Amino acid sequence: MAVIEVKQGVLSVGSIHWERRLFDELIPIPDGTSYNSFLIIGSEKTALIDTVDPEKTRELLENLRKTGAKVDYVISNHAEQDHSGSIPAVLEKFPNAKVVTNAKCKGMLMDHLHIPEEKFLVIKDKEELSLGNKTLRFYMAPWVHWPETMLTYLVEDKILFTCDLFGSHFATSRLYAEEDAKVLEDAKRYYAEIMMPFRVQIRKYLKWIREMNPEIIAPSHGPLWKNPDFIISAYEDWVSDRLVNKVLLPYTSMHGSTRILVDRLINSLMEKGIGVVPFDLAKIDLGRFAIELVDAPTLILAAPTVLVGAHPLAIYAAYLTNALRPKLKFFGFMGSYGWGGKALDHILNQVSSLKVETFEPVMVKGLPGEEDLKKVDSLAEAIAEKHKELNIF
Ligand code: FEO
């Protein structure tokens, strides 16, 4: 990636990973990503804010070489390797540089990267580091999305460096986000996949970030926000309690019986004016599923029994839903079985962290008959009642 000036003495020196399509060997990233790293050149000292994924170390070092700067400090906002993984290479290049971070992050960097203890300068919440005519102030913000995360504010230029917070997996040659539906979708996908489990903490941070009133928000993935209100407002909505009148319906079916239940529920809900978002679990895009979870009140999982338990794809969906800790209020399960088993128990065990009310399950032996389909209609009726109680019709 090119070296790009953000402001006088503030350079973007990170890397774009155009072709990456999977993160953590789990999360689809259809638009690639970037690892943003920023060089702050003060009148006396120079600081590098976060680094890049180890796969792109050479690109970072080449960008640093182009600037001709000598790095005195490496600020580590987050120990995850896509931002910290090139710190050892930077320290090798600049042996007198110090890694500036909080105590928790220091421990994690020592664990994950074996950076020697003497390389660290440990800072606390709201502590400042002077670079001469530029000042860095550090704000502890644990759990966005690891326990050690912090934000760095460049006081004179009013730039807030937020690392993962407000990021998006979006490879673009533009420094700043175009405020369009595309960038918002990628930011929402990022929020849903990475940040949603921590929405209560994020609410708190959004309040003081509003008060701080930065001119630029510079995350370490995706484009920067030169109108911070755009992304802060979006986050305020995502972390709020607002729910939409819809049902998520992840399903799988081996021989068509469970699919009959799914189709009936879709029709029955639509007739009641309730939105339905079905996901075929064999082809699911986890990112799209996570996005829909952001404001969904109800999830009905539908899957057949395999041998004596729930279909593995259904267990996977239930596990992920549980891990993402969405705002869900209601949960249900339906499926066909051959000779019994514990599918329902398996699924309910997977969603034990969700604070949800559970609907009466619809479990059908073999091919659904008319009585079974009436139970599906009753489920739709029960969902409609609950949505009316929530005032989201
Ligand atoms: Fe982009 Fe949590 O690392």
Which residues form ligand 1's pocket by a CB distance below 6 Å? 78, 80, 82-83, 145, 164, 221
- Over the stretch 218-247, which tens digit does the pLDDT of each residue have? 999 999 999 999 999 999 999 999 999 999
Can you say how many angstroms the Cα of residue 307 is from the centroid of all Cα atoms in its chain?
35
* pLDDT above 80: residue 393: no
Residue 147 and residue 250 in one domain: no
Please identify, by atom number, the ligand 1 atom nearest to the C-alpha of residue 220.
1
Angle among Cα 222, 224, 226 to the nearest 5 degrees reads: 155
Average pLDDT over the chain, rounded to an integer: 96
218: nearest Cα among 276, 151, 270: 151
Residue 231 and residue 363 in one domain: no
Is there a contact between 315 and 344 (Cβ–Cβ < 8 Å)?
A: no
In this prediction, residue 61 carries a pLDDT of: 98
Q: 89 C-alpha to center of ligand 1: Å?
A: 19
Q: What is the 3-state secondary structure (H, E, C) of 100-142?
A: EECHHHHHHHHHHHCCCHHHEEECCCCCEEECCCCEEEEEECC
In this prediction, residue 180 carries a pLDDT of: 83
Q: 79 C-alpha to center of ligand 1: Å?
A: 8
Report the CATH number that the domain containing residue 163 is assigned in CATH: 3.60.15.10
Query: Which residues, other chains included, contact 187 with Cβ-Cβ below 8 Å and sequence gap of 6+?
Result: 166, 167, 168, 170, 177, 222, 231, 234
Residue 52 and residue 186 in one domain: yes
Decide if 393 is inside a domain. Answer: no
For ligand 1, atom 3, the nearest C-alpha belongs to: 80
Residue 224 and residue 328 in one domain: no
Residue 224 and residue 353 in one domain: no
- Over the stretch 39-59, which tens digit does the pLDDT of each residue have? 999 999 999 999 999 999 999
Of 238, 257, 292, which one is at a domain's C-terminal end? 238
Residue 139's DSSP bridge partners are 151
Q: 366 C-alpha to center of ligand 1: Å?
A: 46
Note the pTM of the prediction, 2 decimals: 0.95
Average pLDDT over residues 302-310: 93
Residue 36 and residue 139 in one domain: yes
Decide if 195 is inside a domain. Answer: yes
Average pLDDT over residues 357-370: 97
Average pLDDT over residues 117-137: 98
* Domains identified in the chain, total number: 2
Of 192, 221, 238, which one is at a domain's C-terminal end? 238
Residue 258 and residue 113 in one domain: no
Q: 83 C-alpha to center of ligand 1: Å?
A: 7
Decide if 278 is inside a domain. Answer: yes
* Distances, alpha carbon 58 to alpha carbons 7, 48, 94, 359, in Å: 24, 15, 15, 54
Residue 234 and residue 316 in one domain: no
In this prediction, residue 334 carries a pLDDT of: 97
Report the CATH number that the domain containing residue 309 is assigned in CATH: 3.40.50.360
Decide if 391 is inside a domain. Answer: no
- Over the stretch 136-155, which tens digit does the pLDDT of each residue have? 999 999 999 999 999 999 99
Q: 203 C-alpha to center of ligand 1: Å?
A: 19
368: nearest Cα among 277, 281, 259: 259
Domain encompassing residue 95: 4-238
Please identify, by atom number, the ligand 1 atom nearest to the C-alpha of residue 145.
2
Decide if 96 is inside a domain. Answer: yes
Q: 80 C-alpha to center of ligand 1: Å?
A: 5
Longest dimension (CA), the chain: 79
Average pLDDT over residues 67-94: 98
For ligand 1, atom 2, the nearest C-alpha belongs to: 80
222: nearest Cα among 387, 346, 82, 74: 82
Query: Which residues, other chains included, contact 46 with Cβ-Cβ below 8 Å and sequence gap of 6+?
Result: 39, 40, 69, 70, 71, 72, 73, 131
Decide if 392 is inside a domain. Answer: no
Decide if 64 is inside a domain. Answer: yes
Residue 171 and residue 270 in one domain: no
Is there a contact between 59 and 33 (Cβ–Cβ < 8 Å)?
A: no
Decide if 311 is inside a domain. Answer: yes
Please identify, by atom number, the ligand 1 atom nearest to the C-alpha of residue 35.
1
Please identify, by atom number, the ligand 1 atom nearest to the C-alpha of residue 164.
1
Residue 57 and residue 163 in one domain: yes
Average pLDDT over residues 272-286: 94
Residue 177 and residue 267 in one domain: no
In this prediction, residue 27 carries a pLDDT of: 84
Residue 145 and residue 169 in one domain: yes
Q: Are strands 135-140 and 150-154 parallel, antiparallel or unpaired?
A: antiparallel
Of 238, 272, 290, which one is at a domain's C-terminal end? 238
